[in-house]
Chains A and B, each alone.
Chain A
Amino acid sequence: MEEQDKILNDVTQGEYKYGFVTDIETDIIDKGLNEDVIRLISAKKEEPEFMLNFRLEAYRKWLKMKMPNWAYLKVPPIDFQAISYYAAPKKGPKYESLDEVDPELLDTFNKLGIPLEEQKHLAGVAVDAVIDSVSVKTTFKDTLAEKGIIFCSFSEAVKDHPDLVKKYLGQAVPVADNYFAALNSAVFSDGSFCYIPKGVRCPMELSTYFRINAANTGQFERTLIVADDDSYVSYLEGCTAPMRDENQLHAAVVEIIALDRAEVKYSTVQNWYPGDKNGKGGIYNFVTKRGVCRGVSSKISWTQVETGSAITWKYPSCILMGDNSIGEFNSVAVTNNHQQADTGSKMIHIGRNTKSTIVSKGISAGKSENSYRGLVKVMPKATNSRNFSQCDSLLLNDTCGAHTFPYIEVGNKSSVVEHEATTSKIGEDQIFYCNQRGIDTETAIGMIVNGYAKEVLNKLPMEFAVEAQKLLQISLEGSVG
């Protein structure tokens, strides 16, 4: 124990590599929220009428809603009037050519390991880079366009493909779905839009990289992915934020629509600034992610590695409408120091022969609280449906907490729902075994934790998996005691 305590003190606690601030001119609107602010956002984005109406409807509903308090989280009161709802790098909303991009910005993304120069980029990944409220650059757009794939910022989609946006926006996450989704619907600034036409297999990974830079702003981005009949796409999302002493709110919405036999894989590595080791600062991450398997035999899978944020409130879900459709949720959630996470999934079985799996691996360290919360609901008509849920918790010490809140409702007799849960403490014997082979405790913990999370990490696309493994190790530095 002594040795481990020493390591705990020695290591500069889970150093956050992405905590720098970029010095760019930013266009920020005044703090506060009211209908004028919403009109201003909509006007700045030159939106058509239907978008403004969507926002106003959401805002009016939001005013009547209350912040949810059912999660196992201690959320300090959030003053929604103290947040600025729009911040954008000044040089113009979107860069067609890289020469126009502020070198500071290019440099920012380079530092984050997300080069925006296509030739430098990881082969086979197209990126939409979003900083604060706006998308600054989307790579490989032309290559994708040849296949009829639309991959662009949400703002551009509203301008160039209003019919698609109008048709699908709010279909998976209705405006007033929940408090944070309503807030997002009212004020969201940008995000990514993706449409894969019938029969097309997207030839590369699509990814959105979110970066919060400005202070005292909230980030509210919105992603909409539509996979038409017989199409396939794999989508990645990454995010980071500067280290700041005050908390910042991030309330995103991701909607996925999968039509007949379409498949969408959505992977997230969430690494928002978690706050310092005393619990100061960090992102409040309230996110609504939902996919609708609208078509027959369609499939949506969510894979998430959550290491960041001071507070995480997030339940990527699948609504399995089409017969034989499949939903998957694979999650690794790490909490350290004073982080709190309440995360899990909802699987709603509506169509017949629908299948879902939930694999959740929680890892808690420091004084953190880590909860799994899940709902599996099988509607009466969803005959012969199946769910398997596996929720494991790994504790790295005695001061952290792990909790499991599974809710199961089965409405017919031919369906089977299975739930397994385990809680274990990281084995001192395992650490000693590694030590005895010359491997130090830090590395040993990284190895053991990665082994524990392997089933989920294996679901990530290659480049992401490597990144995620390193991230797990860094997040837990100095965490055993």
Chain B
Amino acid sequence: MLKIKDLYASVEGMEILKGINLEVKPGEVHAIMGPNGSGKSTLANVLAGKEDYEITNGEVVFEGEDLLEKSPEERAKEGIFLSFQYPVEIPGVPMVNFLKTSVNEHRKHKGLKELTAGEFLKLMREKMDLVDMHTKLTNRMVNEGFSGGEKKKNEIFQMALLEPKLAILDETDSGLDIDALKTVANGVNALKSPERSTIVVTHYQRLLDYIVPDFVHILYQGKIVKTAGKELAFQLEEKGYDWIKSENGN
């Protein structure tokens, strides 16, 4: 599904990703952990196509096609979803309009008929049931005045609506209380299927109790320095990052 080969990316002349290699197969869940500033969000943003980053080397193949060639909206419509670490507020734009536009752009891309307002509302209710989030947030403006936790839940709800092939969840668990964490994790699990893959960026092992990863990677100074099964997350929880740092010459 996704193949990242020797990927280097920099921002404002500063190299942040320094040779990332990663393969994600259909149905797999990959966790990416690593200290602050190691480049996790950068990787997520580069995959989603944020323009601030310059790709200096490497390639990314998604579903057999060169991903880096495509615009952010094309990537989105072809099935890449990014749950943002910090979802932005768009004042004055109703959530419902935003979501309807988004869903219909995806449908157009797939050659499906656009949904009418009525059909869309029905779909929204179905998805609310699916991820068990009966929020009133959809009556508000995009992320405006949402609490940190509400923003994160709202991201997962959008994911449910858009049914991506590859979901990248950037610290979707941070700032969530225990109940919200479960809701979010259940939401993610409800959408799980043999075709859909997930990359979970997190600092805490706790989330991985709910969203069980097939692989855990440690990103450090722009490189994946360690890959193992879910037990790696426990090790990190116990020992912190010092041993990784010393293993890597710091």
Q: What is the interface of chain A, defined by CB distance below 8 A to chain B? A: 1-4, 427-430, 432-441, 443, 447-448, 450-455
Do residues A433 and B84 form an inter-chain contact, with CB atoms below 8 A?
yes
Q: Which of B94-114 contact A (CB under 8 A)?
A: 97-98, 101-102, 105-106, 109
Closest B residue to A441 by beta carbon equals B73
Say whether B82 contacts A443, CB under 8 Å.
no
* Residue B121 is within 8 A (CB to CB) of chain A in the complex: no
State which of A433, A438, A441 has its C-beta within 8 Å of the C-beta of B90: A433
A480 CB, min distance to chain B CBs, angstroms? 12
CB within 8 A of B88: which of A3, A427, A447?
A: A427
A451 close to B88 (CB less than 8 A): no
**How far in angstroms is the closest Cβ of chain A from B210?**
24
Contact with A439, one of B50, B73, B81, B84 (Cβ below 8 angstroms)? B73
How far is A3 from B71 in the complex, measured between Cα atoms in Å? 8
Given contacts A436-B76, A440-B73, contact A1 B101 (CB under 8 A): no
- Please tell me if the beta carbons of A429 and B91 are within 8 angstroms of each other in the complex: no
Within 8 A of A (CB), among B36-81: 48-52, 71-73, 76-77, 81
Q: Is the CB of B88 within 8 A of A439?
A: no
Closest Cβ neighbor of A458 among chain B residues: B92
Compute how far the CA of A161 lies from the CA of B106 in the bound complex, rounded to whole angstroms: 60
Residues of B near A4 (CB, < 8 A) are: 51
Total interface residues in chain B, CB < 8 Å:
30
| B18-50 CB contacts (< 8 Å) to partner A | 48-50
Known: A432-B50, A437-B158, A439-B102. A451 touches B76 (CB 8 A): no
Which of A3, A434, A447 counts the most chain B CB atoms within 10 A?
A434
Nearest first, the 10 closest Cβ-Cβ pairs linking A and B are: A451-B92, A451-B93, A435-B72, A454-B92, A438-B105, A437-B102, A438-B76, A438-B77, A429-B88, A435-B73
Q: Tell me whether A443 and B88 are in contact in the complex, defined as CB-CB below 8 angstroms, given that A435-B72, A436-B48, A438-B76 are known contacts.
A: no
* CB-based contact A2/B73 at 8 Å: no
Q: Do the beta carbons of A443 and B101 come within 8 Å of each other? A: yes
In the complex, the chain A residue whose C-beta lies closest to that of B84 is A433
Closest to B72 in A: A435
Q: Is B208 an interface residue (CB 8 A)?
A: no
Docked complex Cα distance between A241 and B224 (Å)? 61
- For the complex, give the distance between the alpha carbons of A432 and B109 in Å: 19
Given the known A-B contacts A1-B51, A3-B51, A440-B73, are A433 and B88 also in contact in the complex, defined by CB atoms under 8 Å? yes
Whether B92 contacts A437 by the Cβ 8 Å rule is no
Is B87 a contact partner of A447 (Cβ separation < 8 A)? no
Q: Check: B236 CB closer than 8 A to any chain A CB.
A: no
Q: Tell me the residues in window 174-226 of chain B with beta carbons closer than 8 Å to chain A beta carbons.
A: none
B93's partner among A441, A448, A455 (CB-CB below 8 A) is A448
Cα separation A454 to B92 with both chains bound (whole Å):
6
Are B73 and A451 in contact, with the CB atoms below 8 A?
A: no
Bound CA span A201–B102, Å: 42
Kindly state whether residue B141 has any CB partner on chain A within 8 Å: yes
Contact in complex: A437, B98 (CB < 8 Å): yes
B50, A452: Cβ atoms closer than 8 Å? no
The residue on A at minimum CB distance from B101 is A439
Known pairs A438-B102, A438-B105; A453 contacts B71 (CB<8 A):
no
Set B72, B81, B105: member contacting A432, Cβ < 8 A? B72
Give the Cβ gap from B93 to chain A, nearest Cβ, in Å: 4
Q: Which residues of A contact B101 (CB under 8 A)?
A: 439, 443, 447
Cross-chain pairs A/B with CB under 8 angstroms, 20 sampled: A1-B51, A2-B51, A427-B88, A430-B88, A433-B90, A435-B71, A435-B73, A436-B49, A437-B105, A437-B158, A437-B162, A439-B101, A440-B71, A443-B101, A443-B105, A447-B93, A447-B97, A451-B90, A451-B141, A454-B92
Give the Cβ gap from A216 to chain B, nearest Cβ, in Å. Answer: 42
Look across to chain A and name the residue whose beta carbon is closest to the beta carbon of B83.
A436
* Additional A-B contacts beyond A432-B50, A436-B84 (11; CB < 8 A): A2-B51, A432-B72, A433-B84, A434-B90, A437-B102, A438-B76, A438-B102, A439-B98, A439-B102, A451-B93, A452-B91
In the complex the two chains form, what is the Cα distance from A2 to B68 in whole Å?
A: 14
- A2 → chain B, closest Cβ, in Å? 6
Q: How far is the CA of A31 from the CA of B142 in the complex (A)?
A: 55
Separation in Å of the A32 CB from the closest CB of chain B? Answer: 49
Given A443-B101, A447-B93, A447-B98, the answer on whether A436 and B51 have CB atoms closer than 8 Å is no
